[in-house]
Structure 1
Amino acid sequence: MQHSDIQKVLDQVSAAGASGDLIVDGGESVSLKANAGALEEHAVRSSQILGLRVIKDQKVGIAYSEATDEEAITQLVNQALTNASYSEINADESLLGNQAQLVTDDAVLAPKDTTSIEEKIEFALALEAQLLKKDKIQSVPYNGVTHSTSTRSVYSTAGLSAQSKASSAVAYAYALAADGDKNAMSGIGQASRQFTELNVESIVEPTWEDCMALLKGTPVPTKHYDVIFDPNQQADIFDVFTMALSGKSAKDGLNPWREKLGKTVADERLSLIDSPTNTDGFGYQLFDVEGVACRDVSIISQGSLSTLLHNSATAHYFGIESTGHASRNPKSALSVGAHQLVVGAGDANKSELEQGEYLYITELSGTHSGANAISGDFSFGASGYLCKDGERLQPVRGITIAGNFYDMLKRITCIGDTQHWNWQRSSLMASIRFADLAVSGS
């Protein structure tokens, strides 16, 4: 989108006696998928979408467009103004007087792609082919290789100009194994800024090993167990309950921690930080959707709730400053979202973390349908391994783990001294050994 077109949008908003900001999201991607030794999908996509928020007479209107011609721009502005005229007065939401000029570093976040399309196709075919060569693997129904570049620009009538660009290379495979009347599916993925850092074997081997183990998996006896979730499942559980971190859900009266600031909400050894400034992760953000510069924010410190996450509107409501967590896409209203959650390293070494009997969970099902983010109650199907002193005694499947997330944070046996990224590289967490979780099995 040309800068002159952006200025036309902002000028028309100002001419109508309103203020506003404009999001321009764009992206390009190549997606590949293999099936039965052949390339089933080779999709090349590009997109651009504009999202306009206007504020007039303390009323907010949202509109979006995928077109950028002069008529579409005029329609976009008029629609947003019309939507604002029918909305209720919102005294908390206003445009920040933010005149920042922000640009991300392409050399770090969007390095030049040196891998040819032929090499990417070869990678996708090899991913499936090598798994199919493995004993008892019947098919690889879910697999893919994607290389994409996304851009986000935010402009405002106050003078804000913020641009970000990021590349990602992702590969994943989920294989189906069968042995007689038993079957099992498992898989994993990899993500990197550079396609050259992806590795077929690093996906194939753990996928096959987990499939073979799960074929032999059986339920454990019903009772309470200490539980360690692998990095992917632990990140998913925290993600399910991020409502507890949101200033917006607190403003709406839904946040179970809305009156817990300064109070104990977790074991004193737990620290939880939102760290958008770590460029090693894909949750890196230089600025939020209001152009507020992002910074590391301590949410839980020594078990005590230090702050909730805020945009300018929720911050105004509570009489504080934004924490740089405004979020919205071009089609949505202003909200709040975490960037890149980090659980701080504890003091337990590997031997201490894995001492005695525990369950190591590598797969959860129903993580959203089986959870109530307000009450904290959950019930998830699970599989993994029964372990003792770091040794895997048996593979486990067909069990259900139930409990309350907010209570679980207060019942921690120990926290490991090493942090791990989930495979999507969206969170960095030390392993937590949770105490005494209810497990239904045999």
Structure 2
Amino acid sequence: MTQTPEEISINLLDAARKAGAEAADAIVIDGSSVSVDVREGALEHAERSEGTDLGLRVFLGNRQAIVSSSDSRPETIAAMAERAVAMAREAPEDPFAGLADPSQLTSNWDLNALELFDPTLEPSAESLLKDALAAEAAARAVSGVTQVSDAAAAYGTHRVHLAATNGFSGGYMRSSRSTSCVAISGEGTGMERDYDGDSRSFQSDLRDPAEIGRTAGQRAVERTGARKPETGCFPVLFDERISSSLIGHLLAACNGAAIARGASWLKDCLGQQVLPEHLSLVEDPHRPRISGSRPFDAEGLPTRQRAIVENGILTGWTLDLSSARKLGMDSTGNAARGVSGPPSPSNWNLNLTQGTQSRSDLMRDMETGLLVTSMIGSTINPNTGDYSRGASGFWVENGEISHPVNECTIAGNLREMLMRIIPANDARCYLSRVVPSILIEGMTLAGN
């Protein structure tokens, strides 16, 4: 690519003005990635991709239209702008659509403090292959592992630039490095699988691939001989690996788009208690080296730390400009978007207050119940919060793990469940969502 994302975004805005747009914004994403997959000690698949994606949104009054392309040639950009303006003329009016007022825009940010991009050299394909093979070998070395279905290593970078006719122009670069492994134990219908993986912004922070493979293997072996648990009402301990899904359901119910539609079980709960009073849920988009960090949102507004839940009380919704206008509020600087769609509210990094007990302490206190380590499927009623998910993990007897379980369903109501959560102290602080293991008493469990 001979042009930078910033130059392309400026060209898109110029073309939009020439085509007759009254206002416009443009987003350009330039990225590259390389990945390696291995199987049985040999390279199975290697892939490298590079590309530039462009998105143009134009306004004619309260009418808007969006077009996207992966071609940045001048003639393509001109055609995109003409097509977008023609589409906007036929689009229905949306009184809540529009760019940010210039007074709302951010103009100062410190990319160096966020450390989104690793300046070290891109790893070679040989280096990625070595890591993937090391993960696979470590998993295979675990007694009881019958095969490794997947071991992979990957690296990627992308540059993002956003520009608009309201005067905003800003961009940043981001890098990512990952290693993963999926191991299988048992044979035939008795096979069980589990995984481990790590993804970081900086290569030097990545966990050792042998550790990742070994953990994947051990987890798979621990699941050997799984059977259905009892049916009844039991305490359920959500392992730290999957506990953030519970907070994800809370965040979905706090999303301004859902609130504006009236499709949220929290729609009438602003200012009310939704978590135990000693717990808070804090969003912080400025944590260094974390994938969810960003200096501004997809509408050019400043991102900031805020408590979504403070001492158990729901303090506000997650809003972009459109949902904020619909609700008569101010945007929280949480707009996210790709090249082919309008902005929508999204959350950045989250941190739930950790408890004082370990996961083992919570298992001891629950005496008899289910430790969930993986989940499949999801039936969530967005209006009532009724919750039902397939689960597998380990049965706990007398406060200790007794045997692995699978093919069961856990159910409850999210409003009631979240009010009863008891967090452990085992959250991994380098994740974007820092959520510890969570114990919830009195859930419905369907097994045998």
TM-score when normalising by structure 2 = 0.91
Within the alignment, does 1:312 sit opposite 2:321 as a pair? yes
2:274 pairs with one of 247, 259, 265: 265
- Corresponding residue to 1:214 among 223, 227, 235: 223
1:431 aligns with: 437
Contact 1:231-1:421 at 8 Å conserved across structures: no
Match of residue 46, structure 2, among 42, 66, 69: 42
Q: How far apart are the structure 1 equivalents of 2:359 and 2:391?
A: 23
1:24 maps onto 2:28 in alignment: yes
Partner of 2:119: 112
* Distance change in 2, residues 1:104/1:160 (3 Å): same
Q: What displacement does 1:287 show? A: 1.0
Residue aligning to 2:143:
135
User: Which residue in 2 is equivalent to 1:416?
Assistant: 424
CA deviations 1:78-125 (Å, max 9, x no partner) are: 122122112211112211123736563398221123443322211112
Whether contact under 8 Å (2:396, 2:403) holds in the other structure is yes
The 10-residue stretch of structure 1 (116-125 or 40-49) with the greater mean CA deviation from structure 2: 116-125
State whether structure 2 residue 183 is matched by structure 1 residue 175: yes
Partner of residue 371 from structure 2, selected from 356, 360, 365 = 360
Aligned mates of 2:398, 2:150 — CA distance in 1: 34
Calculate percent identity across the aligned residue pairs.
25
Pair 1:302-2:311 in alignment: yes
Matches within 5 A, 1:368-407: 370-387=379-396, 391-407=400-416
Q: Confirm or deny: 8 A CA contact 1:269 1:415 kept in the other structure.
A: no
Residue pairs, 1:206-355, within 5 angstroms:
206-240=215-249, 242-348=251-357, 352-354=361-363, 355=365
Matched, 1:14 2:23: no
Residue 151 of structure 1 is matched in structure 2 by: 159
CA drift at 1:180: 6.9
Please say which of residues 183-192 and 137-146 is displaced more in the overlay. Answer: 137-146
For 2:16, the aligned partner's letter is V
The answer to whether the 8 A contact 2:114-2:294 is kept is no
Instruction: Specify the code of the residue in structure 1 equivalent to 2:228.
Output: P
For 1:251 and 1:152, the matched residues in 2 are separated by 29
Aligned to 1:123: 131
Does 2:197 match 1:194? Answer: no
Q: Is the 8 A contact 2:137 2:213 kept in 1?
A: no
The residue identity in structure 1 corresponding to 2:70 is E
**Post-superposition offset of 1:172:** 0.9
What one-letter code is carried by the residue in structure 2 that aligns with 1:218? R
Q: TM-score normalised to the size of structure 1? A: 0.92
* Aligned residue type for 1:393: S
Is the contact between residue 173 and residue 188 of structure 1 (CA under 8 Å) also seen in structure 2?
yes
Q: Which amino acid aligns with 2:62?
A: Q
Q: 344-353 or 283-292: which moved more?
A: 344-353
Cα distance in 2 for residues equivalent to 1:353 and 1:207: 24
Question: Does 2:69 correspond to 1:65?
Answer: yes
C-alpha separation between the residues in 2 aligned to 1:84 and 1:346? Answer: 52
Q: Gaps (5+ residues) in structure 2? A: none
Secondary structure (helix, strand or coil) at the match of 2:437 reads strand
* Counterpart Cα distance in 2 of 1:171 and 1:64: 32
CA contact under 8 A between 2:106 and 2:301: conserved in structure 1?
no
Deviation at 1:404, TM superposition (A): 1.9
- How many residue pairs get aligned? The number is 437
Aligned partners of 1:426, 1:265: CA distance in 2, in Å? 22
Q: Unpaired segments of 5 or more residues in structure 1? A: none
Q: Is the 8 A contact 2:350 2:432 kept in 1?
A: yes
SS, match of residue 92 in structure 1: coil
Q: Which moved more, 1:372-381 or 1:427-436?
A: 372-381
Query: Does structure 1 residue 92 correspond to structure 2 residue 96?
Result: yes
3-state SS of the aligned residue for 1:61?
strand
Query: Taking structure 1 as reference, are residues 436 and 57 closer, same or farther at Cα in structure 2, changes over 3 Å only?
Result: same
Deviations 1:165-210 (A, max 9, x none): 1111111111121157521111111112233433122212221222
CA distance 1:203–1:417, change in 2 (3 Å)? closer
Q: Give me the whole-angstrom Cα distance separating, in 1, the residues matched to 2:306 and 2:425.
A: 21
In the superposition, relative to structure 1, how do residues 388 and 112 fare at CA in structure 2: closer, same or farther (>3 Å)? farther
Cα RMSD over matched residues? 2.3
For 1:74, the equivalent position in structure 2 comes to 78
